[in-house]
A and B are shown apart, each in its own frame.
Chain A
Amino acid sequence: TSFSAVVLIGESGVGKTNLLSRFTRNEFNHDSRTTIGVEFSTRTLTLDGQLVKAQIWDTAGLERYRAITSAGAVGALLVYDITKHQSYDSIERWLKELYDHADASIIVMLVGNKSDLANETREVPFEEAKMYADSNGLLFIETSALDSTNVELAFETILRDIHRRVLKNKGEIPKDNTVVLSNQPNTGQSEGQTAEDKKSCCRNV
């Protein structure tokens, strides 16, 4: 089994917690509580014939929590609400925050959630977000935690991406990379290291 750590970030109320619960427990809660601090869930799935244990961190969406959320992850789902343009407007800030605190080689997927409301109250056009993602080197998908659309696919895609990178780097000595979310800079990984080195974040056990 190999481990992959993914963090869910984005404005509060975009549906991060429900994306997580849909993926790990196949549950959706209309009155899910605001996340305070960080929460955490795991799911084991098979990717390319190998068992992968995905470790997913769900974070509070309010700006002031950002400092304690993103460091150490190898993948991030940056979630916005397709019915709230304001939540899309803030993704730039989230990206900056992410690159400031997390590993530079982190894989980011832009996720437009609440696609079940697309016909009624969509505010962010699919094409606009897709273009933004392409030009910034992000993966992109629209999901609905409510009706399960694409949730599985979103997580599988990013986890497979992470997993493939690991396989590619398999020749290297695996480093201990237990994920600790804190705002401490990643002192362990200095600039001098190669990109490959930085990517060795999933450890085979």
Chain B
Amino acid sequence: MAPLATASRTLVARTSSTLLRPAVSARAISTSPALRDASSTFENPFKGERKSEKVPDFSKYMARNPSSVNQVFSYFMVGAMGAISAAGAKSTIQEFLKNMSASADVLAMAKVEVDLSSIPEGKNVIIKWRGKPVFIRHRTAAEIEEANKVNIQSLRDPQADSDRVKKPEWLVMLGVCTHLGCVPIGEAGDFGGWFCPCHGSHYDISGRIRKGPAPLNLEIPAYDFPEENKLVIG
């Protein structure tokens, strides 16, 4: 019995396959009596003929296009489904990841605008930005010169004054002592800059650490001057 089942299954499987050549397909259309020709390996070991042995007529399902066209079409359909699923999955994940970024109200608070025209020369202004104080100093020419005179190699955290400011007359930095996070006092200390009352760190007029326990210079936030007399921090 096995050969019959195998033969009919392979036959039908090949019928459905798009790889089938036209010559082969012509044979597949025929029913079981035609299988008994010389080329067929199928031979019923039992005598007599029964209805159940007749292979049904599958010609209705036969592909009308050449097999290669069908093949490309099938691959195209499968590939298109894959591509659209991939695009959908990508944008789904993208939307979920977007949820993790900062929300609009946080972003709106993340930038602070400062009107610089109200700050006279030689004055400090402290504003709050993201919960931290920001020191803005309108430096005088003498102070700028003093900041540039310092031998950088002698500093604990070597940094030139020009690396710390965008416009030399405006010094903008976070007012958080790099030692243990106190807020330094302006216009104080041995170097004419800032002095941290907690543990006695002295910063110079460029906010660089000169004396005391603090390891680093005062941090510079991201800021920009979009127009004259206007400062945007963040």
Whether both chains belong to one complex is answered with no
